[in-house]
Amino acid sequence: APDAWFKAHRRVQIAGWLLQLGGLVAAVVYVQNRGGGHFNSPHTRIGIAVVAITTAQPLLAALRPHAPEDGATKSGAREAWERAHKVVGIAILVGGIVAASTGIASARSLGYGGEATGSATALLCFGLVTAACYMALHWAGKGAALTGAVVSALGGSAPPAER
């Protein structure tokens, strides 16, 4: 089905958003229990900005202009929305990487090490590799054979060609 790519994208983004919200709640509870101040470091300020922008993405998605019918050209509004969606997505990705990296550094400075920072570093690396693979497949061309093969291997169908 042509909607497989969109559905997979939406599911992955929702999962990431829920993990962000869970991390935010855990961080607020942790700081509250330690008696520290909230949002007073680069890590926490970047992190809250990333969560806020990520939370706004579904609203932006609800406002997107409809895709054109087969054979029709995209409207200027649709083109602008797609560019904005991609730029915001990349900003979220970069901000998330910076927030995670500064969070690991903050944890180390608080005396956490070993399993805690090692696990966080491994998770960050997994996320970076996953994001790099996604972008490589996406930029290889939505109709590219490699993209279709990977999506098919995951039980979906190749994404539709750009309209």
CB atoms within 10 A of CB 65: 14
Query: Could you list the mean pLDDT of each consecutive 10-residue stretch along the chain, which spans 163 residues?
Result: 74 89 91 84 92 90 87 91 90 92 89 86 89 77 58 57 46
Instruction: Say if residues 16 and 24 touch (Cβ distance below 8 Å).
Output: no
Instruction: Say if residues 85 and 59 touch (Cβ distance below 8 Å).
Output: no
The three-state secondary structure class of 7 is helix
Residue-level pLDDT at 162: 47
Give the contacts of 161 (CB within 8 A, at least 6 positions apart). 142, 143
Paired tokens of 20: 């962000």
Instruction: Say if residues 119 and 107 touch (Cβ distance below 8 Å).
Output: no
Backbone angles phi, psi at 147, to 5 degrees: -60, -45
Instruction: Say if residues 38 and 47 touch (Cβ distance below 8 Å).
Output: no
Residue 70 host element (H or E): none
Residue-level pLDDT at 163: 41
Integer Cα distance of 98 and 50 in angstroms: 10
Residue-level pLDDT at 5: 74
